[in-house]
């Protein structure tokens, strides 16, 4: 008895690929602070609020006041469609994901200690994914995935030191907690008519597991007009355990169903390796009167996801290593803000390369190069304007991605995706 795909191997490929799949290249999430995102994420050199925990912790020595909190989040929405080509699923086949909304909260607290020291604590979601294709019983890619979720929460703690009025440095640690869950169908050819039918549903879910990393940053302000910054966040490796559950779907043919039952793997524990990439960012900002203009380069080391080991607790003969060959992705982020008496408005643009090669693009990983356009608004209020409200909106256009006859899951066609992100943060310093 031969299932349409490897019952065990491909299901786990999808699970472990989730962290390498969001809204930044490879589904990283860079939307972590409304003021910086109003400038298209260009903030490595000039971030001035407590979201510096994410964008450049060395800037913590220059925040307003002795203490500051900055809390809010982003609401992400995603629309993806697919048009098939030969050989499978064929011309004329179109599919759509359900439109979903994903709230991503973020909290940052920073405190200056004496004249030169500062420290900060941040909680955010730097990776995430939610995939659910419409009509799961008819979706032509249901043997790959019908629904998947990745949840990741990162806890950051950083300390910064101002060496002199020009230069500050920072060092910190990260604890990333993640969990994945995926549903897919297992298929087999039904001999009497030769048609392909669903014979089981596989549900794979990991436990919440932590991984640990570190970060280092530098911030320089050589004069009142210019500032420079650089930040490195390390790789995080997580080796989660979980469960694989297989539920048979009856076809109504007792003999055929008995053969399917005999061929299905048993419910069992599983494990794999999830690799979250390192990120390098470099920025330069210029401040003419009432303006700030910044450009950033952000490099994400997705080449870390070169292969995927899969391990089964009860059937080790099915263990395998799958080659993925992701490549590093570079983003160019350009942004500006104009400070007026009553408010500050912001705008920006960024381009980011795709991380996944065509062979690895699938219904669970519709990765593509992307263009983002942002608008933002900031308003100070209260005594001495100690309160601030920052808002932004991001329109993200992904280039069409054609995988015809080159991808590894035999699902050929073109993906189109549009994403919108709407976010806010409320800050207070004292």
Domain harbouring 57, CATH code: 2.40.160.60
pLDDT band at 27; cut points 50, 70, 90? low
pLDDT band at 2; cut points 50, 70, 90? very low
204 located within any domain: yes
For range 288-295, the mean pLDDT: 96
Q: Which structural domain, as residue segments, surrounds residue 223?
A: 9-71+101-342+352-365
pLDDT tens for each residue of 109-159:
999 999 899 999 999 998 877 889 999 999 999 998 999 887 889 999 999
Indicate the SS3 state at residue 61.
Answer: helix
Q: Which residue has the higher pLDDT, 42 or 323?
A: 42
Is residue 79 over pLDDT 50? yes
405 located within any domain: no
pLDDT, residue 131, reads 87
Give me the residue label for tokens 């599983």.
Answer: 270
383 by Cβ neighbours in 10 Å (0-12 / 13-18 / 19+) ranks as exposed
Is residue 24 over pLDDT 60? no
What percentage of the chain reaches a pLDDT higher than 90? 62
329 located within any domain: yes
pLDDT, residue 345, reads 98
Paired with 110 in beta bridges are: 68, 120
Average pLDDT value over all residues in the chain: 88
pLDDT, residue 20, reads 35
Is residue 206 over pLDDT 90? no
User: Distance between CA atoms of 57 and 169, rounded to whole angstroms?
Assistant: 8
For range 384-388, the mean pLDDT: 94
Q: Which of 86-95, 233-242, 341-350 has the highest mean pLDDT?
A: 341-350
Instruction: Write the DSSP assignment of 196-259 as a string of letters.
Output: EEEEEEEEEEEPPEEEEEEEEEEEE-SSSSEEEEEEEE--EEE--EEEEEEEE---S-HHHHHH
For range 349-357, the mean pLDDT: 93
214 located within any domain: yes
pLDDT, residue 340, reads 96
pLDDT, residue 13, reads 41
For range 59-68, the mean pLDDT: 94
pLDDT band at 430; cut points 50, 70, 90? very high
Q: Which residues contact 186 (CB under 8 A, 6 or more apart)?
A: 3, 4, 5, 7, 143, 198, 199, 200, 201, 202, 246, 264
pLDDT, residue 170, reads 98
pLDDT band at 415; cut points 50, 70, 90? very high
pLDDT, residue 331, reads 96
87 located within any domain: no
pLDDT tens for each residue of 302-339:
998 887 777 879 978 777 776 778 899 999 999 999 99
Is residue 192 over pLDDT 80? no
394 located within any domain: no
Query: How many domains are there within the chain?
Result: 1
**Helix count and strand count (H, E) for the chain:** 4, 24
pLDDT band at 410; cut points 50, 70, 90? confident
pLDDT band at 350; cut points 50, 70, 90? very high
276 located within any domain: yes
pLDDT, residue 173, reads 97
pLDDT, residue 17, reads 39
54 located within any domain: yes
């Amino acid at each position: 008895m031969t299932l349409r795909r490897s019952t065990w191997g491909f299901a786990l490929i999808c699970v472990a690929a989730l962290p390498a799949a969001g809204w930044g290249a490879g589904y990283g999430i860079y939307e972590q602070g409304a003021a910086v995102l109003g400038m298209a994420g260009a903030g490595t050199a000039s971030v001035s609020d407590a979201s510096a925990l994410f964008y450049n912790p060395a800037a913590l020595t220059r925040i307003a006041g002795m203490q500051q909190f900055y809390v809010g989040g982003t609401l992400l929405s995603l629309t993806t469609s697919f048009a098939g080509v030969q050989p499978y699923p064929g011309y004329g086949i179109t599919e759509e994901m359900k439109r979903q909304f994903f709230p991503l909260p973020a909290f940052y607290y920073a405190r200056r200690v004496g004249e030169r020291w500062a420290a900060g604590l941040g909680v955010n979601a730097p990776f995430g994914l939610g995939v659910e294709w419409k009509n799961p019983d008819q979706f032509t890619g249901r043997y790959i995935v019908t629904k998947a979720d990745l949840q990741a929460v990162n806890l950051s703690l950083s300390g910064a030191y101002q060496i002199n009025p020009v230069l500050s440095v920072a060092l910190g640690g990260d604890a990333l907690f993640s969990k994945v869950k995926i549903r897919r169908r297992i298929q087999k050819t039904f001999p009497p008519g030769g048609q392909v039918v669903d014979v089981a549903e596989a549900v794979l879910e990991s436990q919440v597991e932590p991984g640990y990393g570190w970060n280092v940053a530098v911030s320089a302000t050589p004069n009142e007009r210019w500032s420079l910054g650089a930040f490195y966040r390390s790789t995080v490796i997580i080796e989660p355990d979980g469960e694989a559950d297989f539920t048979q779907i009856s076809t109504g043919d007792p003999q055929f169903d008995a053969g399917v039952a005999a061929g299905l793997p048993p419910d069992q524990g599983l494990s794999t390796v999830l690799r979250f990439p390192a990120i390098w960012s470099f920025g330069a900002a210029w401040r003419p009167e009432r303006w700030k203009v910044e450009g950033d380069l952000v490099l994400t080391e997705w080449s870390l996801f070169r292969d995927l080991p899969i391990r089964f607790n009860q059937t080790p003969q099915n263990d395998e290593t799958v080659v993925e060959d992701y490549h590093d992705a570079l983003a160019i982020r350009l942004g500006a803000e104009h400070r007026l008496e009553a408010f500050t408005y912001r705008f920006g643009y960024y381009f980011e390369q795709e991380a996944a090669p065509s062979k690895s693009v699938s219904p669970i990983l519709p990765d593509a190069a992307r263009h983002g356009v942002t608008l933002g608004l900031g308003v100070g209020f209260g005594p001495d304007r100690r309160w601030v409200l920052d808002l932004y909106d991001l329109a993200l256009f992904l280039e069409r991605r054609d995988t015809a006859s080159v991808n590894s899951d035999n699902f050929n066609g073109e993906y189109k995706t549009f994403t919108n992100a709407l976010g806010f943060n409320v800050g207070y310093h004292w």
